[in-house]
C-alpha cells in the first residue's frame, strides 16, 4: 500500500448530500498497516446501500492514522479498532461514520449534517454498534452459544452489558431510528433481538436474587438491571402498556436519558431532535442544531419552549426534582441553582401561553355542524379545525423562539 504523504482535506458538501467511506482492498493484512479508504459524495436519495456506525469516541489521547484517497487522516483509537473489525469481519462496501463523513471543523456543515443524522441512520441498511475491544469473554461466549456461563462479582467493569457505550447520548437516535441493528464486540456479531433476549435472561436472574437465590451474584445482577440497555430496548420496541410511559416528548426524553453522557453539552438537546415527537421536533428544529450557540443559550431556549408548552406545571416534572443529585459537568443541564436561574429567566422572556386543547364538542358547535352536515362529516371537520389551531400554536412557538434566539443576551 502506498504511503500517504499529504494530509486529507475535505471538498465542500452540498445540501442534501452525504459522504460515504468505501473500503478498498489492502495488499497487506497486518493490522499495523494503514487502512485504505476512499470518500465519495452522494445525493441522499441516490446513495448506494450503506451501513452506519454507532460507537463512542472514547479516549482522545491515542491517535491513529488511516489512508483516505491516498492521504493521511487521523482517527482516535476506538474508531480505528472499529474500522479494523468492519474491514476484516463484516461484508459491506460503503459505510457512514460521523467523525470521517462530517467535516467537524466546518460548523455550518456540521449543523446541516447533525440535523440530517436521523435520516442518515434511518436510511442505512444496518446500524453497526461497535461496543469495543473489551476484556470480558465469558459473557460473549454466553451470548454466542447460549451457555449458562456463571457470572460472578469478579466480572470486569468493562463487560459487554455495562460498557460505557450504553451511556452515550447520541445512541438514542442511532438505535431508535435504525431499521436493523447488529452489535460488534471483539470478533463477535450479535443481532439486536438475540442480544436483548440474553439481556432479559439476565434480568430474570436479578428477579431470582430478590427471591433469595443466586445471592453470590448480587452485584452482577444489580449492574445488569441498571444497565441503560434496558431503556434503549424498551423504547425501541415498547409493549402496548409501556407506550405512554416511553413517549417521545422532549421533556420525557430529557428525563429518561438525564444520565446519558456527551462531550458537548449542547448535544444533550441536539442528539435527541430526530427522535422527538412530531410537534416538539417541528418547533425545536427551527432553531436547533446550531453549534454557533453557546451551551447556556441552548439550555435557555429549550427551557423557554418547555415553559411555553407546560406553563406553571413545568416544575412538577420529575427531571427538575431529580436535578439536585445530578453532576452538571457530565450533563447538558445546569446545576440546581443555575437551573432555577435559567428557568426564571425563561419564564420572564416567554410570552406565549401553553396550548389548551378545546373541547371536541360544544353545544354551539355541535348544533351548527349537525344542521349543516351529517355527524360523520361534522366529526371530520372538527378534527381538521383542532389540528389547524394546534399548528397555529406551534408556529407561534417557533416564531417566538426564533425572536428570543436572535435577541436574548445571556
- 55 with 164, same domain: the answer is yes
Mean pLDDT of the chain: 76
Domain coverage including residue 337: 247-357+389-407
Nearest to 169 by CA among 237, 107, 231: 231
What per-residue confidence (pLDDT) applies to 367? 61
Domain count for the chain, please give it. Answer: 2
- 199 with 254, same domain: the answer is no
Q: Is residue 1 part of a domain?
A: no
Report residue 55 as a C-alpha cell. Answer: 460507537
Encode pLDDT of 18-45 as tens digits.
999 998 875 544 344 578 899 999 999 9
Beta strands 63-68; 36-43: pairing state: parallel
- 206 with 299, same domain: the answer is no
**Which of residues 206, 236, 266 is at a domain's end?**
236
Which span out of 57-66, 270-279, 310-319 was modeled with the highest average pLDDT? 270-279
Q: Which of 164-168, 293-297, 316-320 has the lowest mean pLDDT?
A: 316-320
Report residue 191 as a C-alpha cell. Answer: 443481532
Nearest to 223 by CA among 173, 281, 278, 153: 153
Helix 363-372, helix 375-407: angle, nearest 10: 130
What per-residue confidence (pLDDT) applies to 153? 33
- 48 with 188, same domain: the answer is yes
With a CB cutoff of 8 Å and minimum separation 6, the contacts of 65 are 4, 34, 72, 73, 74, 75
- 84 with 60, same domain: the answer is yes
What per-residue confidence (pLDDT) applies to 191? 85
Q: Is residue 147 part of a domain?
A: yes
CA distance 332 to 255: 12
Encode pLDDT of 7-25 as tens digits.
889 999 998 999 999 988 7
CA distance 51 to 37: 15
What per-residue confidence (pLDDT) applies to 243? 42
- 92 with 149, same domain: the answer is yes
Q: Which of 15-24, 240-249, 376-385 has the lowest mean pLDDT?
A: 240-249
Encode pLDDT of 121-147 as tens digits.
999 999 999 987 755 444 444 433 333
- 85 with 126, same domain: the answer is yes
Q: Is residue 326 part of a domain?
A: yes
- 84 with 231, same domain: the answer is yes
What per-residue confidence (pLDDT) applies to 2? 43
With a CB cutoff of 8 Å and minimum separation 6, the contacts of 106 are 10
With a CB cutoff of 8 Å and minimum separation 6, the contacts of 305 are 250, 280, 283, 284, 397, 401
Q: Would you list the DSSP string of 73-141?
A: EEEEHHHHHHHHHHHHH---SEEE-HHHHS-TT-HHHHHHHHHHHHHHHHHSSEEEEEEE--S--HHHH
CA distance 265 to 331: 6
**Which of residues 236, 257, 276 is at a domain's end?**
236
- 142 with 45, same domain: the answer is yes
- 347 with 399, same domain: the answer is yes
φ, ψ for residue 341, nearest 5 deg = -65, -45
**Which of residues 236, 271, 305 is at a domain's end?**
236
Q: Is residue 9 part of a domain?
A: no
Q: Is residue 83 part of a domain?
A: yes
Encode pLDDT of 381-396 as tens digits.
778 888 899 999 999 9
Q: Is residue 6 part of a domain?
A: no
With cut-offs at 50, 70 and 90, classify the pLDDT of residue 206.
low
What pairs with residue 65 in β-bridges? 74
Q: Is residue 49 part of a domain?
A: yes
Q: Is residue 373 part of a domain?
A: no
With a CB cutoff of 8 Å and minimum separation 6, the contacts of 194 are 143
Would you say residue 229 has pLDDT above 70?
no
Yes or no: say if 382 and 361 are a contact pair by the CB < 8 Å rule: yes
194 compared with 22, residue with greater pLDDT: 22
Q: Which of 26-35, 83-92, 172-181, 301-310 has the lowest mean pLDDT?
A: 26-35
User: Grid cell 461496543 — which residue?
Assistant: 131
- 209 with 259, same domain: the answer is no
- 225 with 269, same domain: the answer is no
What pairs with residue 51 in β-bridges? 95, 126
Amino acid at each position: 500500500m502506498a504511503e500517504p504523504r499529504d494530509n486529507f482535506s475535505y471538498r465542500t458538501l452540498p445540501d442534501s448530500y452525504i459522504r460515504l467511506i468505501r473500503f478498498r482492498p489492502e495488499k497487506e493484512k497486518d493490522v499495523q498497516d494503514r487502512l485504505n479508504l476512499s470518500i465519495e459524495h452522494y445525493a441522499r436519495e441516490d446513495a448506494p446501500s450503506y451501513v452506519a456506525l454507532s460507537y463512542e469516541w472514547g479516549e482522545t489521547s491515542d491517535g491513529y492514522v488511516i489512508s483516505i484517497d491516498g492521504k493521511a487522516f487521523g482517527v482516535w483509537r476506538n474508531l480505528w479498532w472499529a474500522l479494523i473489525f468492519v474491514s476484516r469481519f463484516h461484508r459491506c462496501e460503503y459505510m457512514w461514520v460521523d467523525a470521517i463523513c462530517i467535516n467537524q471543523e466546518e460548523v455550518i456543515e456540521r449543523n446541516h449534517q447533525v440535523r440530517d443524522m436521523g435520516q442518515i441512520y434511518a436510511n442505512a441498511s444496518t446500524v453497526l454498534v461497535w461496543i469495543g475491544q473489551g476484556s470480558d469473554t465469558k459473557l460473549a461466549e454466553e451470548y454466542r452459544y447460549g451457555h449458562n456461563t456463571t457470572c460472578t462479582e469478579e466480572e470486569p467493569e468493562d463487560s459487554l452489558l455495562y460498557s460505557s457505550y450504553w451511556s452515550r447520548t447520541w445512541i438514542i437516535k442511532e438505535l431508535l431510528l435504525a431499521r436493523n441493528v447488529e452489535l460488534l464486540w471483539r470478533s463477535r456479531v450479535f443481532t439486536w433481538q438475540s442480544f436483548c433476549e440474553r439481556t432479559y435472561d439476565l434480568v430474570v436472574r436479578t428477579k431470582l436474587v430478590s427471591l433469595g437465590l443466586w445471592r453470590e451474584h448480587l452485584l452482577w445482577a444489580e449492574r445488569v438491571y441498571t444497565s441503560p440497555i434496558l431503556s434503549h430496548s424498551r423504547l425501541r420496541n415498547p409493549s402496548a402498556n409501556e407506550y405512554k410511559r416511553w413517549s417521545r416528548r422532549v421533556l420525557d426524553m430529557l428525563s429518561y436519558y438525564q444520565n446519558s453522557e456527551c462531550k458537548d453539552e449542547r448535544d444533550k438537546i441536539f442528539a435527541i431532535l430526530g427522535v422527538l415527537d412530531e410537534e416538539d421536533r417541528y418547533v425545536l428544529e427551527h432553531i436547533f442544531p446550531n453549534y454557533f450557540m453557546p451551551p447556556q443559550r441552548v439550555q435557555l431556549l429549550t427551557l423557554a419552549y418547555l415553559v411555553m408548552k407546560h406553563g406553571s406545571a413545568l416544575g412538577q416534572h420529575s427531571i427538575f426534582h431529580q436535578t439536585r443529585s445530578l453532576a452538571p459537568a457530565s450533563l447538558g443541564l445546569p446545576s440546581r441553582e443555575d437551573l432555577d436561574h435559567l428557568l426564571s429567566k425563561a419564564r420572564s422572556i416567554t410570552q406565549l401561553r401553553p396550548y389548551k386543547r378545546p373541547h371536541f364538542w360544544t353545544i354551539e358547535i355541535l348544533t351548527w355542524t349537525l344542521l349543516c352536515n351529517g355527524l360523520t362529516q361534522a366529526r371530520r371537520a372538527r378534527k381538521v379545525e383542532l389540528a389547524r389551531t394546534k399548528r397555529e400554536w406551534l408556529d407561534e412557538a417557533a416564531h417566538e423562539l426564533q425572536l428570543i434566539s436572535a435577541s436574548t443576551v445571556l
